[in-house]
Structure 1
């Protein structure tokens, strides 16, 4: 999955014979080949008992109907569960914890909200999730990824140059593009001071179509609600029990507070998903009488 994630642009742009010319390309090609397991599973249908086998079995039961899953549908579902359903949430959580470590006032405000709605000694419950509004705003501030799209029909996109002049760009059917959501989320046209970590910006009115980590419209992410609940539950559990601070590493002992903040809030790399940096955090258990 690491090579599938890291090599997605190589895979999209280059044919197999070019990928075979260099090590990273070969590793990427191998990773994608290993992901293509449908035919192997079809040849030995009873040997496994997992989600993929269940999807295959469902396909067999519905093979004569119009809703039967194609090979492409099966691969799409598995890729979504392995990549979109795991990597995105995991990296967003890691980066959010890094930001909380260098913004103690934000972390404390989030902690106070948790204490307000979760009784002492209790675990956060599903019914508490709607009350964790400030935690959701923290997650919303970690907004960086790329969204791949394929044009289903010939169309035309209107772009604008630096002077605001319109330029039409014709796009034929079948063309793949990547929506630069990173640029959208940091566009000062839609966001006041976009590079400052300020979760409160989501308390008021904001352009809903200028915040697209889950895409939008009929093709929006079907796992959005699950991801939001999952991330809020994990964050609430951690912040409820631990105070998060930057780890003291010898190599960074002389860095200034501003340098530390920049290091721990650097998103790192953005490919298909954001990728958290290995920055190092310390979790100090809070006063047990409040738990």
Structure 2
């Protein structure tokens, strides 16, 4: 075994890393998968100063995210970069501040609140259908953009119990542009502190985000705060200051809206390329007597399984990073304090040792509930995504309402993946979204 790291485990050599730079920049998810496939599910990457462990071993992932989670922090390059946009919110934050904020916003994700989210998700599916109907015959729908627009109503009511039709698009677009700049800066050899045009553009986008958030906060503060169910209301009622509320607002745009739009897009793409699975979804939603709602979610098990399978193949959080705060042993490897641990969800979800025919879209994998330590699209342990149930309800009902009246088919070959903050189809994703015979607008 060749070692080029303080970690007692194999991995690529420094020369391998130099040669791989173009591949890392183009497709980092594939590079990490190649590393674990060649060197094992726990492998070391030789970077100066910091030991780096790439992890796609289920027991090792469980050790880091669940069993010994308090020994691992989020002061990593990934989360520090995100924090330039989100601030130290629930996504990038850590420690007591994170625990306090999570307790404050938790009521927004209880089942009583999800019932209301369900109604807005159905309406979002209806808007998606109407957008497809408005296209010229034969014109494909740009699904990534359309799912993002359709979900804005859900975002507005979850965040601030209001119609944010004016402010939500501005906030989402500014956050999206800022995140793109953060990803580009992270891949650049130029230090982030240098006064570059990219740094100036990022400052402008963050200022635009701050302006929109200030308007949303001011509007919500003028309305009653007794027994709030929305995120901003809960935070204001708990006495959090404007900056803290702003950071959580932006965090939930990234962790909620951005990831749901990505997941909806990939699910529709996979269904369009798998006619038998799509037919089963159509049969399932056709069995509903009326438009779907909260009470119908348990009646859509195959559609839910299709969403789960799409999350396996295209997990929005395609990589999860942690920094070891104390010495530990992970997957048989001695991990000293300070080690950067990279959990490659993409590799874990596509490992042929863990999944039969791992690149195939087979929703029946999730037909029966089971414990799967090798399935972590929302993370695991105490840092499990707080919005997991909300996201799943939203996705199932958006898709149920759309596919109740429409079908989808590909508008071209599969798109390559851009591994940015989330996984996105490179150049967008056009699909033909067509009304089913006999269904009425």
Please give the range of the TM-score, normalised by the shorter of the 2 chains. 0.7 to 0.9
Preserved contact between residue 324 and residue 336 of structure 2 (Cα < 8 Å): no
Q: Distance in 2 between matches of 1:52 and 1:154?
A: 46
Q: Secondary structure at the match of 2:193?
A: helix
Deviation at 1:169? Answer: 2.5
* Cα offsets for 1:201-235 (capped at 9, x unmatched): 11246552211111112211111111111100110
User: Do structure 1's residue 49 and structure 2's residue 219 form an aligned pair?
Assistant: yes
User: Do structure 1's residue 239 and structure 2's residue 403 form an aligned pair?
Assistant: yes
Q: Distance in 1 between matches of 2:252 and 2:363?
A: 28
Which of 106, 119, 125 does residue 293 from structure 2 map onto? 125
* Cα offsets for 1:232-270 (capped at 9, x unmatched): 0110111110121123xxxxxxxxxxxx5xx33x46112
TM-score computed with the length of structure 1 as normaliser: 0.72
Distance change in 2, residues 1:196/1:32 (3 Å):
same
Q: Distance in 2 between matches of 1:82 and 1:191?
A: 32
User: Do structure 1's residue 103 and structure 2's residue 277 form an aligned pair?
Assistant: no
Aligned twin of 2:308: 140
Q: Distance in 2 between matches of 1:193 and 1:46?
A: 47
User: Do structure 1's residue 276 and structure 2's residue 440 form an aligned pair?
Assistant: no
Please provide the CA RMSD for this pair. 3.6
Q: Distance in 2 between matches of 1:15 and 1:180?
A: 25
Q: Distance in 2 between matches of 1:47 and 1:218?
A: 29
Which of 17, 22, 26 does residue 193 from structure 2 map onto? 17
Preserved contact between residue 141 and residue 199 of structure 1 (Cα < 8 Å): yes
Aligned twin of 1:209: 373
* Cα offsets for 1:31-82 (capped at 9, x unmatched): 34544569x95xxx9993148998788767655xxxx4684x4344112221
User: Do structure 1's residue 184 and structure 2's residue 354 form an aligned pair?
Assistant: no
**Alignment coverage as a number of residue pairs:** 254
Preserved contact between residue 114 and residue 132 of structure 1 (Cα < 8 Å): yes
Pick 1 or 2: higher relative contact order, CA cutoff 8 A, min separation 6: 2
Deviation at 1:12? Answer: 6.0
Q: Secondary structure at the match of 2:219?
A: coil
Q: Distance in 1 between matches of 2:358 and 2:341?
A: 25
TM-score computed with the length of structure 2 as normaliser: 0.50
Distance change in 2, residues 1:152/1:285 (3 Å):
same
Distance change in 2, residues 1:52/1:231 (3 Å):
farther
Aligned twin of 2:337: 171
Q: Secondary structure at the match of 1:287?
A: coil
Preserved contact between residue 349 and residue 374 of structure 2 (Cα < 8 Å): yes
Preserved contact between residue 286 and residue 404 of structure 2 (Cα < 8 Å): yes
Q: Secondary structure at the match of 1:245?
A: strand
Distance change in 2, residues 1:223/1:57 (3 Å):
closer
Preserved contact between residue 91 and residue 274 of structure 1 (Cα < 8 Å): yes
